[in-house]
Amino acid sequence: MACPSLEERFVGSLLGLALGDSLGAPHEGGPVAQAAWWLLGLGKRGILRWTDDTQMALVLARSLAEKRGVDPDDLARRWAEALDPRRGYGPGTRKLLGRIRGGEDWRAANRAVFPEGSFGNGAAMRSAPLGLFFHRDLAALEREAALASSITHAHPLGIEGGVLIALAAALALEDPFDEARFVAGLRERCARPEIRNRLELAGKPLSPAEVRKRLGCGVLAHESAVTAIHAFLRHRDDFLELQRFVVELGGDTDTIGAMAGGIFGAHRGASALPGEALARLEARDEIERAARELYRAWEGCPREGSERGTRPVA
Ligand code: F2R
Ligand code: MG
Ligand code: MG
């Protein structure tokens, strides 16, 4: 198997995130949420429509590329401007972005809905582009992913979920890939027991019932981010099998699919994604363009040291 180029892995990650989101979206939540999705989808039959997960990741990728790094005020403004409730946002994030759109600073808005901040998975679902951009400097990745996450998810668990998925996308780029090293690399950078303890199970063969019980498949960061990593590890050679597994688990299927898809795409590149599904993906060209622009921005970043690809200068 030919090793995909780094640029193809950037493209694969963003397209994988969007595909996982759109394949999982019709199955997300209970019967009411699923009925709402189908009603909103009327008139667009055949198109794989994505949700808030991809919307926010796309905005993040573009902002990272244009600003050559995390510019929190720019990100908050762009996410607020792009807010489209038909994409099915988490209730806290929808309110928070509405407040920012109304002129409130994100530093206040991110504690207006939940005083201790949100620990939903809304930061984790969008953070693969951060892993791509900062993959050569994991200390910068942790710092910048935490900052980008905290704009909407100020709770330590919400932030750590965002950092974890960014790290997973970065470590999935490693070639050759070593599963034990990948899991150890994630564990050593996670402080919260809710996430760290689950990571011990990430590579274990669990039944779907055990995954639901021990890792979770809900909307909270610590009850979904490790689940996505587990799904990636057990199906890292077959994207459709991976997404079938996510749908079988149930719960927050679009988001677990998006997180796992972003990691899978970084690992295997765009050519490993299913062509028939890609052909039906909403705004596929736009997503691919954003990924290539992110790659060009990463490539063009001034870096410390002589070797290209070391730390981007902040
Ligand atoms: N919202 C959805 N899906 C609902 C169905 C959509 C439907 N299909 C439609 O078409 O309309 N999905 C999206 O939301 C999740 C990401 O959520 P996010 O951005 O983290 O939002 P929020 O509100 O901050 O957190 C989610 C919930 O977690 C609980 N929670 C969070 N922090 C809390 C705290 N400090 N204390 C208590 N509870 C807390 C709350 O229940 C939040 O509402 C993704 O699934 C995305 O796809
Ligand atoms: Mg969603
Ligand atoms: Mg979701």
Best probe residue, ligand 1, of 110, 118, 149, 246 (max atoms within 8 Å of C-beta)? 118
| Nearest-atom index, ligand 1, CA of 153 | 24
Q: Residue whose CA is closest, atom 11 of ligand 1?
A: 88
Quick one: 9 exposed, middle or buried, by C-beta within 10 A (0-12, 13-18, 19+)? buried
Q: What percent of the chain has pLDDT over 70?
A: 95
pLDDT of 271 over the 80 cut: yes
- Regarding the beta carbon of 122 and ligand 1, being less than 6 Å apart is answered yes
pLDDT in the model for residue 306: 39
pLDDT in the model for residue 37: 76
pLDDT in the model for residue 65: 98
Longest dimension (CA), the chain: 56
The residue with greater pLDDT, 39 or 74, is 74
What's the pLDDT band for 312 if we cut at 50, 70, 90?
Answer: very low
Strand partners, 281: 48
Could you give the C-alpha distances from 68 to 71, 87, 287, in angstroms and in order? 9, 27, 18
| Residue range 267-276: mean pLDDT, rounded | 98
Best probe residue, ligand 1, of 17, 79, 89 (max atoms within 8 Å of C-beta)? 89
| Nearest-atom index, ligand 1, CA of 40 | 10
- Regarding the beta carbon of 220 and ligand 1, being less than 6 Å apart is answered yes
Distance from Cα 92 to the centre of ligand 1, integer Å: 6
What's the pLDDT band for 303 if we cut at 50, 70, 90?
Answer: low
Q: Residue whose CA is closest, atom 17 of ligand 1?
A: 90
- pLDDT tens track for 178-215: 999 999 999 999 999 999 999 999 999 999 999 999 99
What's the pLDDT band for 44 if we cut at 50, 70, 90?
Answer: low
Could you give the C-alpha distances from 247 to 18, 25, 28, 135, 161, in angstroms and in order? 15, 9, 8, 29, 21
- Regarding the beta carbon of 189 and ligand 1, being less than 6 Å apart is answered no
Amino acid identity of 131? Answer: G
Distance from Cα 122 to the centre of ligand 1, integer Å: 7
pTM of the model: 0.95
From 257, 297, 294, 289, select the one nearest 273 (Cα to Cα): 257
Distance from Cα 219 to the centre of ligand 3, integer Å: 7
What count of residues does the chain have?
A: 314
- Regarding the beta carbon of 208 and ligand 1, being less than 6 Å apart is answered no
Q: Residue whose CA is closest, atom 29 of ligand 1?
A: 120
- Regarding the beta carbon of 28 and ligand 1, being less than 6 Å apart is answered yes
125: Cβ contacts below 8 Å, ≥ 6 apart: 21, 52, 53, 56, 57, 165, 255, 258, 259
Tell me the C-alpha distance between 239 and 257, whole Å. 10
- Regarding the beta carbon of 93 and ligand 1, being less than 6 Å apart is answered yes
| Nearest-atom index, ligand 1, CA of 258 | 47
